[in-house]
Amino acid sequence: MKADGADLQTLECWMQAVVMHPEGADAGLRSRPARRLVPQAASDPESVVLPSKALTSVERLDIYAHMYFARLLEVMEAEYPTTRQILGAHEFAVACRRFIARNPSRSRTLGGLSAKFPDFLARSLSRGHRNGLAIDVARIERAMEDVFDERRAEPMTAAQFAAIGADQWDKVRLSVNPALRLLKLRYPANDYMNAVRGGRKPRIPRPRATFAIVYRRGYSVFRRDQEPEQFKLLSALAAGRVLAVAVRASIGGRSRSADRLAAKLGAWFREWAAAGVFTGTR
């Protein structure tokens, strides 16, 4: 085989098809894409890759095939430690391998490799509380990765909040920290993660709707649950609603005394201010 021009391209495409095959280099050699590119290699791999004294041609290709999945699995294990704990190491590895085979990296950095992994789990895992929890935890762990790399924005100070007079509520919109994600979950996934990280072995919980935010303050990533109305209000603000409209839409319909409402809002905004959720007004 010559390696010039198109032939070099063919050789690279062939090797890639072989070493990225989820069942290893031997299966990769016999795969349709590899046979289409270099037909003779399926029956005579030595015509393309020489054996060494100790290894056959296929064994040498298999080193790369093994490293491809091992390296990317290592990345995903670091990104999804609690998802892995729920599914178990073997099932998690199988899921990652299938995911990588269907979603090979197209980026020069690894940060976005598993961006679609929670959705993949949601489509591919069977129903059941354990898997449902795993999907929710994966969504939180993915959000933690996303905000880790997100651009930095200075949070609003308490004084800036205080300066928003009641007369401005009908006009002002709040800018949300780009390093914030809002997650509507089917399970108490945050509590479960806290328990695991605290060294406990919690049972798989029953379904219960929870509302979580994942955010970065400075250079540290945090996650916490929100009350349902609090989450609804924050979602409306993050969607760009005017402050007064967002408040009315999320909690205004409930019969509640003005004092209680003000106390609730005050507590929520203090919490969000401490978390650096807002970065300014517009």
Partner 1 sequence: MNVLPNRWNLPDLGLGVGLRSQHFRQITERWPAMDWFEIISENFIDTEGRPLYFLDQIAERYPIAMHGVCLSVGSTDPIDFEFLDKLKALSKRVRAKWLGDHICWTGVAGLNGHDLYPVPYTEEGLRHMVSRVKIIQDYLEQPLVLENPSTYLTFAASSMPEEEFIARLAVEADCALLLDVNNVYVTCRNHDLDPVAYLDAIPYEHVVQVHLAGHTDNGTHCIDTHDGRVIDEVWQLYARVHERTGGRATLLEWDANIPKFSVLQQEVRKAERFRNGAAKRVAA
Measure the CA–CA gap between 270 and 67, rounded to whole angstroms: 49
Is residue 11 close enough to count as binding partner 1 by CB under 8 A?
A: yes
Q: Which stretch binds partner 1 (CB under 8 A): 13-21, 131-139, 154-162, 224-232?
A: 13-21
Measure the CA–CA gap between 46 and 185, rounded to whole angstroms: 53
Q: Which stretch binds partner 1 (CB under 8 A): 53-61, 86-94, 131-139, 222-230?
A: 53-61
Tell the smallest beta-carbon distance from residue 109 to partner 1 (Å).
5
DSSP one-letter string for 9-48? HHHHHHHHHHHT-TT-HHHHHHSHHHHHHSGGGTT-GGGT
Tell me which of 22, 27, 31, 61 binds partner 1, using CB under 8 A: 61
Tell me which of 27, 39, 50, 168 binds partner 1, using CB under 8 A: 50
Could you tell me which residues are beta bridge partners of residue 221?
216
Which residue, 220 or 255, is less far from partner 1 as judged by CB? 220
Kindly provide the residue ranges of all beta strands, DSSP E only, lying in 122-232, ordered along the sequence: 174-176, 180-185, 210-217, 220-226
Measure the CA–CA gap between 60 and 225, rounded to whole angstroms: 50
Interaction with partner 1 in 185-244: which residues (CB under 8 A)?
A: 216, 219-220
Q: Which residues lie near partner 1 (CB under 8 A)?
A: 1-5, 7-9, 11-13, 15-16, 19-20, 46-50, 52-55, 57, 59-61, 63-64, 67-68, 71-72, 104-112, 148-152, 216, 219-220
